[in-house]
Structure 1
Amino acid sequence: MNIQLLYKPSYSIAKVNLSSGESIKAEAGALMSMSSHIQIQTAKAQQGGLFKSLKAAFLGGESFWMNTFTAPQAGEVLLAPTLPGDVEKLDLNGTVFVQSSSFLAADPKIDIDTKFQGLKGFFSGESLFFLKLSGNGPLVISSYGGIEVLDVEGEFIVDTGHIVAFEEGLQYEITKFGGWKSFFLGGEGFVAKFKGKGRLWIQSRNVPSLGSWFREELPPKKQ
């Protein structure tokens, strides 16, 4: 499998060249184009009983239906994220946590599970849920805006809307930004305090801020 990242950094896509018998698993709706002989199989991202299915559907905030593209002979698949931004390829060897909206594609051998980060995530209004990806192989993540890669050792604070992914060596807790005055009037909301040692991927834009901007710009409803 060979993965090329095209049109970086603003409107990136992933071009996946598959050899005979190879497959790539991608989020539902990511397909841009593909060779005519590529086969598609649609299935839930998780297996293992009713509880895991409910966990994925309700805690993850996603449908978690994914498409697996298989090449009976050599071919290509082009994958595009929903939001305009960057795409990065990770050669996974272990475990990484990815914001659910930032997952684009992965080797089918990589195990995908959800990690519920706690009830505080509901108050942030940002659907802060992570996919836990474990195994070995290529993983493709996407962002809204550009991606900044940080090597954290110690502590680091990130606005929750800017998190893309982080390695297993980092632990985090969700807390409000500053005091209550800053929280309600400063426009920041919740942040994640990371502790430990590992790599952290963040994005230069965040979707909640975009949604707030649109709501402010829309004309008021007529009574």
Structure 2
Amino acid sequence: MNIQVLYKPSYSVAKVNLSSGESIKAEAGALMSMSSHIQMQTSKAQAGGIFKSLKAAFLGGESFWMNTFSASQSGEVLLAPTLPGDIEKLELNGTIFIQSSSFLAAKPEIDIDTKFQGLKGFFSGESLFFLKLSGSGPVLISSYGGIEVLDVEGEFIVDTGHIVAFEEGLQYEITKFGGWKSFFLGGEGLVARFKGRGRLWLQSRNVPTLGAWFRSELPPRKE
């Protein structure tokens, strides 16, 4: 399998070249195009049974279904995320946590589960769960905006809307930013306080903030 990320750093597309017998699984709706001899099979998002699939779909924010693209002979698949931004290819060898909307594709053998974010994640407007990916092989993550990669050692504070992914060596706590005045009036909500050692991927734009801006621009509702 050979993966190229085209059109970086914005409006990126992943070009996946598959040899005969190779496959890749992707988030539902990610297909842009594919060779005529690539077969697509739609299945439950999790290999661990229907309960695990329901957990990812309704609690993790991910689609209940995923598409697996398999090559009967060499061909290509183009995959594109929903939001305008970048794509990063990771070579997973262990465990990583990914914001639910940032998962794009992975090798089929990689296991996908969910991680509870805590009650404060609900009030932040973010997903209650991160996706937990474990195994070895290529993983594609996507962002809204550009991707910043940080190597954290110690403690680091991140707005929850800018988290894309983080390695298993990092632990986090969801807290409010500053005092209550800053929380309600300063435009900053809840943040994740990361501690430990590991790599952290951030996105330069914030989806909840975009949604709030759109709502503010809508005309007043007529009674």
**TM-score, normalized by length of structure 2?**
0.97
SS state of the match for residue 209, structure 2? helix
Alpha-carbon separation, structure 2, partners of 1:42 and 1:116: 26
Are the aligned partners of 1:25 and 1:107 in contact in 2 as well (CA < 8 Å)? Answer: yes
Superposition pairs of residues 50-89 of structure 1, within 5 angstroms: 50-89=50-89
Letter of the 1:89 counterpart: K
Q: Are the structure 2 counterparts of residues 5 and 49 from structure 1 closer, same or farther at C-alpha, using a change threshold of 3 Å?
A: closer
Letter of the 1:158 counterpart: V
Are the aligned partners of 2:145 and 2:204 in contact in 1 as well (CA < 8 Å)? Answer: yes
Superposition pairs of residues 107-186 of structure 1, within 5 angstroms: 107-186=107-186
SS state of the match for residue 17, structure 2? strand
Q: Report the CA distance between 1:221 and its aligned residue.
A: 1.2
Query: For structure 2, which runs of at least 5 residues remain unmatched after alignment?
Result: none
Q: Report the CA distance between 1:58 and its aligned residue.
A: 2.2
Are the aligned partners of 1:144 and 1:206 in contact in 2 as well (CA < 8 Å)? Answer: yes
Are the aligned partners of 2:160 and 2:191 in contact in 1 as well (CA < 8 Å)? Answer: yes
Q: Report the CA distance between 1:50 and its aligned residue.
A: 4.7
4+ long deviations beyond 4 Å: none
Deviation per residue, 1:154-209 (Å, 9 max, x gap)? 00000000000000000001011111110000111100000000000000001000
Structure 2 partner of 1:97 = 97
Q: Greater shift after overlay, 125-134 or 157-166?
A: 125-134
Q: Report the CA distance between 1:116 and its aligned residue.
A: 1.4
Provide the aligned length of Structure 1 versus Structure 2. 223
Taking only aligned residues, the RMSD between alpha carbons, in angstroms, comes to 1.0
Alpha-carbon separation, structure 2, partners of 1:219 and 1:150: 40
Alpha-carbon separation, structure 2, partners of 1:187 and 1:17: 44
Alpha-carbon separation, structure 2, partners of 1:88 and 1:49: 29
Q: Report the CA distance between 1:126 and its aligned residue.
A: 1.8
Superposition pairs of residues 199-218 of structure 1, within 5 angstroms: 199-218=199-218
Alpha-carbon separation, structure 1, partners of 2:48 and 2:70: 23
Alpha-carbon separation, structure 2, partners of 1:179 and 1:25: 44
Alpha-carbon separation, structure 2, partners of 1:22 and 1:49: 23
Alpha-carbon separation, structure 1, partners of 2:105 and 2:2: 13
Deviation per residue, 1:29-73 (Å, 9 max, x gap)? 000000011101111121334542332222112223110000000
Q: Report the CA distance between 1:109 and its aligned residue.
A: 1.1
Are the aligned partners of 1:85 and 1:145 in contact in 2 as well (CA < 8 Å)? Answer: yes
Alpha-carbon separation, structure 1, partners of 2:205 and 2:89: 19
Identity of aligned residues (%): 88
Query: For structure 1, which runs of at least 5 residues remain unmatched after alignment?
Result: none
Q: Greater shift after overlay, 199-208 or 51-60?
A: 51-60
